[in-house]
Structure 1
Amino acid sequence: MTDFWIFFKFGLEHVLDLNGYDHLLFLVVLTVPYTGKDWKRILLLVSLFTLGHTLSLFLAVLNIVRVQPTLIEFLIPITILLTALYNLATAGKSKPKENLTFIGGITLFFGLIHGLGFSNYFKDLLPGEAPDKMLPMLAFALGIEAAQLIIVLVVLLLSFVFLTLFRFSKREFILVFSAIVLGIILPLLAQNPIWEP
């Protein structure tokens, strides 16, 4: 059971580590369009992201999937960029319920990409045969989910503060936070090694 908590804590730290803030930025742009009353939808989206993240780790650890790290390091900020741009394009517009299938599918796919970004490092942490790797991977996934829920709660709290105390409209809140994330991610994309000859 000690190994379980070690990998659970590792999953928590993976998301909450400010040095690897790409996961954090994605969660921010995923969450800012919603408020506390949308908690079921947010929980579903975050869980789909975790599922994608875990599935790609699983496939990589078992050597079923191998992807060039340089490509993944480029695609991760692209997922953040696309989500932020989607927020900017749809801010203030009602999001019909039928969009959940589309948004959920994209979130799951983006989770796959983010998981692949961590897969090489994670694969080195797990010695032994495939069955020996299942419990640590489950613990890691649960740690990721717990950390993501912490981030979501922080974003929802910020939303509440900005919408009620500072009298931002929901549209303004979405635009401001999505623009901040864009301001962080665009220089990272511009400096990405994929552009080097």
Structure 2
Amino acid sequence: MSSVFFNYLQIGFHHIFNLEAYDHMLFVLAMCAVYSASEWRRVIALVTSFTIGHSITLALAVFEVVKFKTSLIEFLIPVTILLTCLFNFTQANKGKQKGMGFWSMNNFFALAFGLIHGMGFSNYLKSLLGPGKNIVLELFAFNVGIELGQLLIVLIVLLVNLLFTGILPIKKRDWVISVSSAAGAIALLMIFEQGFSAVF
């Protein structure tokens, strides 16, 4: 049982922490771009919101409680990136982020967008799962692996933010706008590559 757990934990980790999963990595980058390392508590709340969202739909999709059009999810994932980048532009001049604790607007969007990303994660996991009896264990281990990979990405993003806005003479506003512009442009290209026909 422990070997099954560890195997699926590794699968989950490498599913998000590799260049082929650049869409999910890009979303995490955009999500954390407006935060500095000193705001790590807010980042934890944000990541927790995203985790709750994608854990719900990952489980529901794997157990086939919800079904969806794969092309639609592949279209919506870059949409979440683009919307996050657009939201970042409105926050660029505000300095430290303000909100109502866990229930800030940022966290609400992270939760909602997590629901979409969870369905994206489920496509890959369902392709691996067989009719075995360990589906709950495999699902849990895969999700833990995703979280470990996600937390590593968040740590890297915060360290890069610290380097450019805390050590190098770059204003936080300029950094947020630059990162969000680049991520948003990539997301826009992904949307056009998917084609709007995916919505229908």
Equivalent position of 2:113 in the other structure:
110
Q: Secondary structure of 2:134's partner?
A: helix
Q: Secondary structure of 2:98's partner?
A: coil
Q: Secondary structure of 2:66's partner?
A: coil
Letter in 1 for 2:152: I
Letter in 1 for 2:19: L
Q: Which moved more, 1:144-153 or 1:45-54?
A: 45-54
Can you give the 5+ residue segments of structure 1 that lack an aligned partner in the other structure?
A: none
Kept in 2, the 8 Å contact 1:11–1:140? The answer is: yes
Letter in 2 for 1:127: G
Kept in 1, the 8 Å contact 2:52–2:111? The answer is: yes
Q: TM-score, normalised by structure 1?
A: 0.92
Q: Distance in 1 between matches of 2:98 and 2:52?
A: 24
Match of 1:174 among 162, 173, 176: 176
Listed one character per residue, the Cα deviations across residues 136-195 of structure 1 (whole Å, up to 9, x for unaligned) are: 111111111111111111111111111133211111111111111012111111121334
Letter in 2 for 1:58: A
Q: Alignment RMSD, CA only? A: 1.8
Q: Distance in 1 between matches of 2:112 and 2:193?
A: 24
Q: Distance in 2 between matches of 1:52 and 1:160?
A: 28
Listed one character per residue, the Cα deviations across residues 17-53 of structure 1 (whole Å, up to 9, x for unaligned) are: 2012111000001111111111111112112212211
Kept in 2, the 8 Å contact 1:15–1:23? The answer is: yes
1:78 CA displacement: 0.4
Match of 2:152 among 126, 133, 150: 150
Equivalent position of 2:29 in the other structure:
28
Equivalent position of 2:39 in the other structure:
38
Q: Which moved more, 1:46-55 or 1:10-19?
A: 46-55
Kept in 2, the 8 Å contact 1:45–1:107? The answer is: yes
Alignment of 1:125-140 (within 5 A): 125-128=128-131, 132-140=134-142
The yes-or-no answer on 1:193 pairing with 2:177 is no
Q: Distance in 2 between matches of 1:105 and 1:183?
A: 24
1:97 CA displacement: 2.2
1:118 CA displacement: 2.7
1:91 CA displacement: 0.6
Q: Distance in 2 between matches of 1:165 and 1:56?
A: 40
Letter in 2 for 1:136: E
Can you give the 5+ residue segments of structure 2 that lack an aligned partner in the other structure?
A: none
Q: TM-score, normalised by structure 2?
A: 0.91
Alignment of 1:18-97 (within 5 A): 18-94=19-95, 95-97=97-99
Listed one character per residue, the Cα deviations across residues 35-74 of structure 1 (whole Å, up to 9, x for unaligned) are: 1111111112112212211211110111100011111111
**Percent of residue pairs identical:** 38
